[in-house]
Structure 1
Amino acid sequence: MKEMIKKYLYNNYTISLLVAILLNFLIESFSRHSVVAALNYLVHSPLVFLYNTLLILLTLSISLLVRRKVFTFTAISVIWLAGGITNGIVLNNRVTPFTANELKLISSTFDILEKYFSKFQIGLIILGVALALIGVVIAFFKAPKSKDKVNYKKAVPMFLGGILCFFCLTQGALKTNVVASYFGNIAFAYLDYGFPYCFTNTLLNTGITRPANYSEASVDQLKEQLASSESTTIGGSNLVANNDNQLMLQKKAPNIIMLQLESFFDPTYMKDLKFSEDPVPNFRKLKEQFSSGFLTVPSVGAGTANTEFEAISGMNLEFFGAGEYPYKSILRKTTAETINYDLKDLGYSTHAIHNNKGTFYSRQKVFKMLGFDTFTSVEYMNVEELTPRGWAKDKYLIKPILDALKSTENSDYIYTISVQGHGDYPSTPVENHSKIKLSGFDDTERLNSFEYFTNEIHEMDTFIAELISALSLINEDTVLVMYGDHLPTLDITNEELANGDMFQTEYIIWNNFGLEKQDANIEAYQLGAHVLDQLGIHHGTLTNYHQQFKDEADYQENLKLLQYDMLYGERYVYDGVNPYEPTKLQMGVNEISISEVYQDEEGQFIVKGQNFTDSSRVKINDNAHETIYVDSNTLKVPDYTLNEEDQFSIQQVTVTNHVLSTSAKYKVGQEEENNQFYDQGFEEGYQAGYQAALEAMNPPMSE
């Protein structure tokens, strides 16, 4: 019996398998915040659990190749365990799980720690990391080292054989749907397929796989087809070639405003729910009057930035790695042709607006790569009202949108990203919150969550009507494209929806100059081309491709070919040279400036100027000072005495003290500069229109 135990149980292979099982279980317990949930996962998804165990076992087998087997085994085990713990911590504070891409952004991790954790908790995290590192170091020096040299002739073939077997196992798992290669919702994928597989997938499966038919000849052939189709469409479009053979608009094109609404959809599509009143009356009325349809988006419950990427770039996200966010990967390295760049060719100015922090998804960096001229984040807005979950209300987007419109004399393309509908959604009633009451679910907690969500959506619906009223008072042709970025994180299934597809939201193309109503169901990556087609604008590689070839049999195959060539290939479509330079992104449309500094009668140091917000911070010489926001023209700096030699500027900072921009320096006694940013007549018209718009919604548009 002792010999049998020693032979079959007390050996490296058995120990490795048992450790892999234990590690997998602990990882899922941390990730799911529950040992019971991990047991439930093991019982209901045994094949997935086994697959992930074998994946961990494969990595542990690296110890076969070294003499320091105990150290290597321990280090790999610690890495897996640290990943599971990190994922558990991350999921305790956001919907999106921990991915490999975030290892590349480790420096930005420290920027968000203070928002989510107390100083005591941060101390515990640092202590835990330090203890883990100390343990690994001790293992390196103290763990026994194999006395025998590694038999590489045996170990290497064994290890490579293990990799080959696991590769074949993976192919079988994919074909039998044990695991998946595409994650429509990365949060759900981690729950369905386990942390080890999903995290490894985000590590190894990134970018676009080189198409089998990729070559200069294949791209040139497609390029010729695009050029030919573009030339045949110019005659019926709003484009004409000038004397330099460059395309230009025959007449001033309308402003184009894209309004991406956070988690917005019509809740009445839920078959079992009943509502005390229509939650989206304005959106419903607009659907009847203007072009509309279903919009298929790349994710469910999360992934705002990916819907955003598809709509701006015209690229299909399914060709990228599972769960990949291009904002976190390729767009950190290169620019991409987008509607922004295409419209800038035609004289448009391009703006991005988001009532959330400017560093979210690193938009303050990524938007340079997408061709935006300005980016107005929440740090450049005066938001006075938040949702019960702490998100800015969408009504505060109206002024930034109008500010962007009046900032230029030419046409504007404005991409607006809302945040009010963001989760999570409370499972208990919020006092004095819900005007609309719901019924139909036996699950009280889920019903409460839906009721909270529905009432936030109802406010967003009112915001839509207020925005349209404001735009109607401005004497410029304007198109407003409204759509939801994805369905909310409320465990919605296809079977519960009247339309039967949880990847569908809806869009509407409102306009103030009589565009013909043309309803169609489209993909998010087709949306921009669809809108420009109705406006007679056929310019841009992917824009023209979607407009002319979306019904062809090889549409998706050639779309992948173009995307690969543009981002990862030789850029044959651009004759080998990327023509798109990163823009000099201006944070905020309105100039922030200081007009006067002084010590008041009470000895308080006062800074006067324009366009201050609650995110403004006074910088004196090289030091940032504590700043009290009074109003958009006034800031106070406690415990400072005026020194006439000092120089002053205003920084706009995030909640984690990341500096987004710094104003021009001001020195006492300097000649006052004229900082008037807009034409006074236009300014007066704008202010009158804006105030009238806010009053126009009483009663609401739907009444």
Structure 2
Amino acid sequence: MKLTDKIPVPHMTPDKKKRMIDMFNRYSLLIHAVLSMALCFTIETISRHSAVKALTFVDKHTWAFAYNSFIIFASLAIVYLFRRRMCLRIFISGLWLFLGTVNGCILSNRVTPFGYTDLKCLSDLLSMQNTNYFSAGEATLVVFVVAAFLAFCIFLFIKGPKFQGERRKFLTPVMVAACFLMLPVTTQAAQNSNIIASYFANIAQGYENYGFVYGFSTSVVDRGMSKPKDYSRETIETAQKKSKQTATQNADDPNIIVVLLESFIDPTEVDYLNFSEDPIPNFRELTQNYSTGYLTVPVVGAGTANTEFEVLTGMSMQYFGTGEYPYKTILKQTDCESIASDLSRIGYGTHVVHNNGGNFYSRANAFSMMGFDSFTSKEMMNIQEYTPLGSWPTDNILINETMKALDSTENQSDLVYTITVQGHGDYPTEKILDNPEIRVSGAPTEEANYQWEYYTNMIHEVDKFIKNLTTELEKRDENTIVVFFGDHLPSLNLEESNMASESIFKTKYATWNNFGLAKKDADLCAYELLAKTTNDLNIHEGTIFTYEQNALDQGTTGSENYLDGLNNLQYDLLYGDRYAYNGEDAYPASDLVMGVEDTAIANIFPSANEGYLIVGGKNFTRWSRVYINGEKVPSAFISSSRLRIKADALSDQDTVVVSQMGSSNTVFRSTPEYTYHDPNAENTEAKMTEQ
């Protein structure tokens, strides 16, 4: 006897099925509303890693939750335009859940939530597999899940049910359009009622208070800069009249070294931590003897490129859309005045040195758009030392690379922008350092203590780098100033109440110089840092920097008029009519050169290993690749002067080139062509001649 003979299996009759379908159709709007709220709650649970925290959000921000649900409801309304409603309903719901899941995963590794501009950084993330961002296995799993979901949706589209009811060809589109037209109306109403905010000073806090759906949606629609209400030629002329009019007076312009210290803070300012000794004695000595202060930065836990953008351009990120990365958006198409282009006007050589990939954050393109002469990225460096986790290079290599940049120009002052990476997260929750130089205690959990111990010891090494760099610069017979600054707090769940500065948006900067520049402490915004530095040096160049220099002198930074002028100026330079330049392109992009040292092939000869050849030359790195007759062949890095290839890959009279390769097969720099002469071919030809 079959099991089904004993246990009755419910069977839906055609009439019962029809009644159920009729009920779903009749109450579909109500069902969509319930589905929207369920999706919104699920997304918040995933994003906050807790159903309890999601419930707290619903309780404390009920109207914000309702508004987020309405955004999902409006997107689901699209299904009414089609007969394959089930398929489309599942697809839209799955898309929202996917975005929420991505946000939840991202917030497991950084403080800044997922925004639209992160989609433009996918190429950066793909180039960083098997790092602390995500593993190759995780990437494979994501691809598999997405592919399976799309396959299921395609199956439903082909085999799934169709809506059989009457289609109201006029009423239905009007209803759907009404849902979308209500979005800007309800958005404005919610903003006016302080249910949601139009600008997030703290993106992470904004997502937490106003919900992921709204946060992500506003990052999609609110991109770039909005045109200021009072933008005009007259407004720009007024702002320029408020700029410092004094001409540059420094007859002996010093070298200017600007050093971004990745995730660098003073750990002793975290109220619950204890240390066996001062983790940053060298940085602290600089703060005691040279100009220093707190630096207000635009990001927390991630987003280095945005602090960098503010420092190099003098422009404020507060006027851009939510989660914006100008490097990945406007600087893809528009050149941008910066400290590099301003100092180039008075004869400076301008260089960037960074021990990470040249394409990360689209930096190679951005630095060209900002007018730099050269960019030495990791692809141009013979990196040998890595952090204990093996995730990032150590920073000591940057000292020699900075010296090379200074030496690359003769009888010329230089600007060198050096970007460190050793302090970068993620920080392990298990014990990695058996005998840490700095012992840490006081964190709320053992896992957190391991994280703080690892982080503290990494920036202790960075602190040694600071001392070693200034020591090397002291040996040079050149006037030099160095500006060190932290780009953002580490992603270690810090809150404002934990910080001595009472802000998670404040790091510190410190300076060093070897020519007796007076100590002038000041708390600054990141976009004012180099305006102050150049002002102290009597260098008065640039549209933005001279505007800020005047405000620094007058003590009007932060005033409404000052910020309005800054908003107008940066809109004019990036998106407007460039009234400040009389409509001209005054600061065109540079022909950026990757690295400051030539690579070259000297010879090709047999390897000690049979069946292989050695390509001999200079300045090879782990990112050097061999091309024979324009085709890449497998190669192995042996040393800075040797690469190994298979002997059968090369024939007499073949042309050989070695290229320094970035991610996405970008060729950063190449050797001149080398024509290979096979000695065996010559011997064979000689024997044939003799015969």
| Secondary structure at the counterpart of residue 394 of structure 1 | coil
Structure 1 residues 82, 345: CA separation in 2 closer, same or farther (over 3 Å shift)? same
8 Å CA contact 2:342, 2:542 repeated in 1: yes
Q: Give the match for residue 364 of structure 2.
A: 364
Structure 1 residues 602, 437: CA separation in 2 closer, same or farther (over 3 Å shift)? closer
| Secondary structure at the counterpart of residue 436 of structure 2 | coil
8 Å CA contact 1:208, 1:321 repeated in 2: yes
8 Å CA contact 1:435, 1:455 repeated in 2: yes
Code of the residue aligned with 1:150 in structure 2: it is: R
Deviation at 1:663, TM superposition (A): 2.5
Deviations along 1:473-492, one digit per CA (max 9) or x if unpaired, are 01111110001111111111
Counterparts of residues 400-439 of structure 1 (less than 5 Å): 400-409=401-410, 410-439=412-441
8 Å CA contact 1:62, 1:159 repeated in 2: yes
Pairing 1:11–2:30 present = no
Counterparts of residues 357-396 of structure 1 (less than 5 Å): 357-389=357-389, 390-396=391-397
RMSD over aligned CA atoms reads 3.0
Deviations along 1:380-433, one digit per CA (max 9) or x if unpaired, are 222222112311111111011000000001111111111111111122222325
Q: Give the match for residue 55 of structure 1.
A: 71
Code of the residue aligned with 2:621 in structure 1: it is: T
Q: Give the match for residue 562 of structure 1.
A: 569
Q: Give the match for residue 547 of structure 1.
A: 549
- 1:199 corresponds, among 187, 212, 216, to 216
- 2:238 corresponds, among 195, 203, 221, to 221
Between Structure 1 and Structure 2, whose CA radius of gyration is higher?
A: 2
Q: Give the match for residue 317 of structure 2.
A: 317
Deviation at 1:173, TM superposition (A): 4.5
Deviations along 1:230-258, one digit per CA (max 9) or x if unpaired, are 1xx12xx42xxxxxxxxxxx634111110
Q: Give the match for residue 460 of structure 2.
A: 458
Structure 1 residues 406, 302: CA separation in 2 closer, same or farther (over 3 Å shift)? same
Deviation at 1:340, TM superposition (A): 0.8
Deviation at 1:272, TM superposition (A): 2.6
Structure 1 residues 102, 296: CA separation in 2 closer, same or farther (over 3 Å shift)? closer
Once the two structures are overlaid, the 10-residue window that deviates more, 133-142 or 330-339, is 133-142
Code of the residue aligned with 1:399 in structure 2: it is: N
Counterpart-to-counterpart distance in 2, 1:176 and 1:284 = 46
8 Å CA contact 2:311, 2:529 repeated in 1: yes
- 2:89 corresponds, among 60, 70, 73, to 73
Structure 1 residues 113, 46: CA separation in 2 closer, same or farther (over 3 Å shift)? farther
Q: Give the match for residue 641 of structure 2.
A: 633
Code of the residue aligned with 1:600 in structure 2: it is: S
Once the two structures are overlaid, the 10-residue window that deviates more, 40-49 or 661-670, is 40-49
Once the two structures are overlaid, the 10-residue window that deviates more, 629-638 or 7-16, is 7-16
Consecutive unaligned residues of structure 1, counting only runs of 5 or more, are 239-249, 671-703
Pairing 1:588–2:588 present = no
Code of the residue aligned with 1:392 in structure 2: it is: P
Once the two structures are overlaid, the 10-residue window that deviates more, 116-125 or 533-542, is 116-125
Counterparts of residues 591-630 of structure 1 (less than 5 Å): 591-603=598-610, 604-630=612-638
Deviation at 1:459, TM superposition (A): 1.0
| Secondary structure at the counterpart of residue 415 of structure 1 | strand
Deviations along 1:271-309, one digit per CA (max 9) or x if unpaired, are 232211111111111111111111111111111111100
Counterpart-to-counterpart distance in 2, 1:426 and 1:120 = 19
Task: Quote the sequence identity (%).
Answer: 41
Deviation at 1:200, TM superposition (A): 0.8
Structure 1 residues 158, 642: CA separation in 2 closer, same or farther (over 3 Å shift)? closer
| Secondary structure at the counterpart of residue 657 of structure 2 | strand
Q: Give the match for residue 651 of structure 1.
A: 659
Pairing 1:578–2:596 present = no
8 Å CA contact 2:129, 2:136 repeated in 1: no
8 Å CA contact 1:599, 1:641 repeated in 2: no
Counterpart-to-counterpart distance in 2, 1:122 and 1:290 = 46
Counterpart-to-counterpart distance in 1, 2:587 and 2:38 = 50
| Secondary structure at the counterpart of residue 230 of structure 2 | coil
Counterparts of residues 485-496 of structure 1 (less than 5 Å): 485-496=487-498
Code of the residue aligned with 1:396 in structure 2: it is: I
8 Å CA contact 1:74, 1:139 repeated in 2: no
Code of the residue aligned with 1:467 in structure 2: it is: L
Code of the residue aligned with 2:217 in structure 1: it is: T
Counterpart-to-counterpart distance in 1, 2:135 and 2:242 = 59
Counterpart-to-counterpart distance in 1, 2:665 and 2:127 = 8
Q: Give the match for residue 339 of structure 2.
A: 339
Once the two structures are overlaid, the 10-residue window that deviates more, 621-630 or 176-185, is 176-185
Counterpart-to-counterpart distance in 1, 2:297 and 2:75 = 35
Once the two structures are overlaid, the 10-residue window that deviates more, 511-520 or 265-274, is 265-274
8 Å CA contact 2:110, 2:491 repeated in 1: no
Q: Give the match for residue 244 of structure 1.
A: none
Deviations along 1:184-239, one digit per CA (max 9) or x if unpaired, are 5545554554332221111011111111111222223333454xx41xx12xx42x
Q: Give the match for residue 168 of structure 2.
A: 150
Counterpart-to-counterpart distance in 2, 1:336 and 1:84 = 34
Pairing 1:84–2:84 present = no
Pairing 1:662–2:670 present = yes
8 Å CA contact 2:239, 2:547 repeated in 1: no
Deviation at 1:568, TM superposition (A): 1.1
Code of the residue aligned with 2:618 in structure 1: it is: Q
Structure 1 residues 511, 118: CA separation in 2 closer, same or farther (over 3 Å shift)? closer
Code of the residue aligned with 2:645 in structure 1: it is: V
* TM-score of the aligned structures, taking structure 2 as reference length: 0.86
| Secondary structure at the counterpart of residue 396 of structure 2 | helix
Deviations along 1:527-554, one digit per CA (max 9) or x if unpaired, are 1111110111111100110011343441
Once the two structures are overlaid, the 10-residue window that deviates more, 543-552 or 38-47, is 38-47
8 Å CA contact 2:653, 2:677 repeated in 1: no
Q: Give the match for residue 301 of structure 1.
A: 301
Q: Give the match for residue 505 of structure 1.
A: 507
Consecutive unaligned residues of structure 2, counting only runs of 5 or more, are 1-15, 679-691
8 Å CA contact 2:124, 2:361 repeated in 1: no
Counterpart-to-counterpart distance in 1, 2:41 and 2:439 = 41
Once the two structures are overlaid, the 10-residue window that deviates more, 380-389 or 535-544, is 380-389
- 1:449 corresponds, among 431, 451, 454, to 451
Deviations along 1:315-352, one digit per CA (max 9) or x if unpaired, are 01101111211111111110111111111111111111
- 2:532 corresponds, among 530, 533, 542, to 530
Deviations along 1:561-605, one digit per CA (max 9) or x if unpaired, are 111111111111111222222211111111111111111354331
Structure 1 residues 106, 368: CA separation in 2 closer, same or farther (over 3 Å shift)? same
8 Å CA contact 2:242, 2:547 repeated in 1: no
Counterpart-to-counterpart distance in 2, 1:91 and 1:157 = 39
Deviation at 1:461, TM superposition (A): 0.8
Structure 1 residues 339, 77: CA separation in 2 closer, same or farther (over 3 Å shift)? same
8 Å CA contact 1:272, 1:440 repeated in 2: yes
Code of the residue aligned with 1:618 in structure 2: it is: V
Structure 1 residues 289, 632: CA separation in 2 closer, same or farther (over 3 Å shift)? same
Pairing 1:290–2:306 present = no
Structure 1 residues 271, 101: CA separation in 2 closer, same or farther (over 3 Å shift)? closer
Counterpart-to-counterpart distance in 2, 1:121 and 1:438 = 32
| Secondary structure at the counterpart of residue 66 of structure 2 | helix
Code of the residue aligned with 2:443 in structure 1: it is: F
Counterpart-to-counterpart distance in 2, 1:107 and 1:150 = 44
8 Å CA contact 1:355, 1:419 repeated in 2: yes
Code of the residue aligned with 1:274 in structure 2: it is: N
| Secondary structure at the counterpart of residue 312 of structure 1 | helix
Q: Give the match for residue 256 of structure 1.
A: 256
Q: Give the match for residue 6 of structure 2.
A: none
Counterpart-to-counterpart distance in 1, 2:202 and 2:603 = 51
8 Å CA contact 2:110, 2:301 repeated in 1: no
Counterpart-to-counterpart distance in 2, 1:503 and 1:118 = 30
